[in-house]
A = this chain, B = another copy of it.
């Protein structure tokens, strides 16, 4: 397959920055667990919160300094690759795999900063418009930090690669491009008329970088 592991920071960063859902793998009682979750990035660290972080925290058993082995995978699917043979069908994608030891963010200021990074990562501009976390909400939020030390990217793009003798077959071959798109936003029915009418630009024109 025309794919190659790539360790360049810019490529890894661009894939991490376009995606916002990762699949986090960890080992509990010797068995694998994979949880989907959102994430953000500040420099060389990825930050994770939500149920995946809580699951890791459970593995850490309340030890704030615990380091938990995780594998974080981000996959951007760019298209279906239709070859002339069943065997050579493939997908176009860009993916990043990170291996490392995740730790809990304990410092309140770092926690607030990392939650802002996750929010900015998913929908830039939203954080400044909403009610910020109270200190109680902040205490109740588990955030994980994973250094970008062992990361690699894999990319497959372009047309199918068929066996030489298959190119003569009269079979349509090519790529069906796929991407994630936003459609018309649905306002919460519990807004008053003027609030409902003031749809922010980051909602109206939502798109990934």
Contacts and interface: CB of A to CB of B under 8 A. Distances in A.
A86 B132 contact: yes
Interface string A57-79: 00000000000011111010100
Given A30-B27, A84-B131, A141-B87, A188 B159 contact: yes
Given A115-B86, A130-B83, A130-B84, A179 B180 contact: yes
A21 interface: yes
Interface stretch (A10-18, A40-48, A195-203): A195-203
A32 B69 contact: yes
Contacts of A184: 177
A190 B82 CA distance: 13
Given A82-B126, A159-B188, A33 B71 contact: yes
A127 B89 CA distance: 10
Given A80-B122, A206-B80, A27 B24 contact: no
A198 B173 CA distance: 10
Contact of A85 (B70, B131, B186): B131
B36 A69 contact: no
A86 B119 contact: yes
A187 interface: yes
B180 A77 contact: yes
Interface in A153-194: 159-160, 166-167, 169-192, 194
21 contacts: A21-B91, A23-B34, A27-B30, A31-B71, A31-B99, A33-B71, A36-B75, A38-B91, A82-B126, A87-B133, A87-B141, A131-B171, A167-B190, A170-B195, A172-B200, A172-B203, A174-B188, A177-B183, A177-B185, A177-B186, A179-B181
